[in-house]
Structure 1
């Protein structure tokens, strides 16, 4: 589903990417920017959700005026401070969460942040870069299978954000398994580059996801009263799932380290084997080189140099005998 970027009368883009009014039964209807300004909760339409582009000019001022937020809170919701965190402010919940960046050309460790504010009646989410999680939840609402209140909406957003992380973690695990199957007969340098990329992704995801674990725990423990008990249980399940993802990242990182050490050990063993063979060959040919070099000096009285003495063939036969003797000694000493 494409985000619905609304326009005002002048044609300038408004901050509203899309909005939905929940009907309390899992469904909802779209709402435009003008209606957002006039909206009030009713029994038939108890919750409003709007998804905003936080980089739009005037968003912070609008949040302060319409939601009556304090300046620090409005600044937090529109700033580039994207470290995951969550806290309660009166009867409202304020949170910054991160999700995997699945935009074209992005790497898994490139995280996308989403700011969230809710007072139990209105839910406001904000983003800078496209994030697929809000679109998924919006599709569920349009199909009548979405959340029915603000707490369930916050829970659905966090659940989908964490679930999508599992795809990147599974992909990294599959890549490690493939690399383990390809360790023999492949370019060592290329494989080491792939393993380094996996380790870098694991470290980056772990660095970003650990604060997210703390943020979700804060939501579960200190959310306002409108965040009901079943919502807290759902958040607890999401926290447990995130904890498993963090453990999987640790396993993937350790597997990559073991595989990297194994490849380097094999490469070192192959190098040592080659050096060993070259040393044996050099040791075998050293006496032969000494004899031929000694007899090849250009001075008088060189033995077997007289015409008719068959010196060349005698030297060849002598070198062959020395070579055979060296081979026998090397075999007996188990050098070959």
Structure 2
């Protein structure tokens, strides 16, 4: 990115290619030059100055492009579209659920987008221009970007689904701390992704349901297909969340069952040793009159009696089907 906050500026040639422009060159841009796409870091002073004073767009769009906090949405401004979208974070050493936002103002003659972090989908479009396979107009750009943003979610969601399935298999054999930790991570990632994909689904729906003159019926059909794919991803996230919730309940059930079994064993042991403990305590008091205090064989008799009583109690519990 240049020090003036301009990530890139390209002038589309309507044949799949584009010409790169510098920050100084876009100062003199006019609509007669063709469709311009500028991509800024919204936190830079130069970006604020150009978008506010030189872009010529609506004040509502200016505020939306420069805001630091946003959620997926679509707003129709006259014959232009104001968009806020999110894409999965596929940058190195990043968490996919930490989704990256992009704000867009799209009209027939001008595209302004702002960001704080880089999106691979934007880089894909820039690379397509180099091969003369890029979008030729605003509607194609809108379809290309939303399609790439949505398609790149597939790998992340499939990975979540595979991890949930692996955990489901592991739970049959184990309920250790690693499994429970992994379940928490999967749930957190799925909830985080769904948090943004659900409103993004509504934003995509507005794109093809509202009237914009430069969006043809064919364009709206393509946007509808992209929205259907996004809806499928939201449903998949719901399915993943339901699956790991059931797995978590299964783990808690197994832990509860193990605890009940151990408490049952302790109860049986207590039932056997409670009367024996009572007798040993009774004969252990240091007062006069205890039987057998003068008999040297009394301890042996008492031990044999306690053992016989313990065996008898065990047999009684087993006969009563407590064991």
Report the TM-score, using the length of structure 2 for normalisation.
0.91
Find the counterpart in structure 1 of residue 313 from structure 2. Answer: 326
Q: What is the CA deviation profile of residues 5-57 of structure 1, one whole-angstrom value per residue up to 9, with x for unaligned ones?
A: 23xxxxxx122212333333333333322333345577xx8533221111110
- The equivalences for 1:126-275 within 5 A come to 126-184=114-172, 186=174, 188-275=176-263
CA RMSD across the alignment = 2.3
| Matched-pair contact (CA < 8 Å) for 2:7–2:39 | yes
| Matched-pair contact (CA < 8 Å) for 2:6–2:47 | no
Aligned to 1:33, the other structure's residue is in SS state coil
5+ unaligned residues in a row in structure 1: which ranges? 7-12
Cα drift, residue 82 of structure 1: 1.0
| Matched-pair contact (CA < 8 Å) for 1:120–1:227 | no
How far apart, in 1, do the equivalents of 2:309 and 2:208 lie?
Answer: 84
How far apart, in 2, do the equivalents of 1:191 and 1:66 lie?
Answer: 55
Of residues 258-267 and 74-83 in structure 1, the stretch that sits farther from structure 2 once superposed is: 74-83
5+ unaligned residues in a row in structure 2: which ranges? none
Measured at CA, do residues 304 and 60 of structure 1 come closer, stay the same or move farther in structure 2, by a change above 3 Å? same
Q: Please, which of 52, 57, 61 is the counterpart of residue 45 of structure 2? A: 57
Aligned length: 323
How far apart, in 2, do the equivalents of 1:98 and 1:272 lie?
Answer: 47
Cα drift, residue 103 of structure 1: 4.0
Cα drift, residue 182 of structure 1: 2.2
Cα drift, residue 158 of structure 1: 0.8
- The equivalences for 1:274-313 within 5 A come to 274-308=262-296, 310-313=297-300
How far apart, in 1, do the equivalents of 2:29 and 2:58 lie?
Answer: 21
Cα drift, residue 92 of structure 1: 1.8
Aligned to 2:152, the other structure's residue is in SS state helix
Of residues 228-237 and 256-265 in structure 1, the stretch that sits farther from structure 2 once superposed is: 228-237
| Matched-pair contact (CA < 8 Å) for 1:188–1:267 | no
How far apart, in 2, do the equivalents of 1:39 and 1:76 lie?
Answer: 22
Cα drift, residue 241 of structure 1: 0.6
Q: What is the CA deviation profile of residues 47-100 of structure 1, one whole-angstrom value per residue up to 9, with x for unaligned ones?
A: 332211111104233224333112222121111241212122222221111122
| Matched-pair contact (CA < 8 Å) for 1:41–1:121 | yes
Cα drift, residue 189 of structure 1: 4.3
Measured at CA, do residues 123 and 240 of structure 1 come closer, stay the same or move farther in structure 2, by a change above 3 Å? same
| Matched-pair contact (CA < 8 Å) for 1:98–1:112 | yes
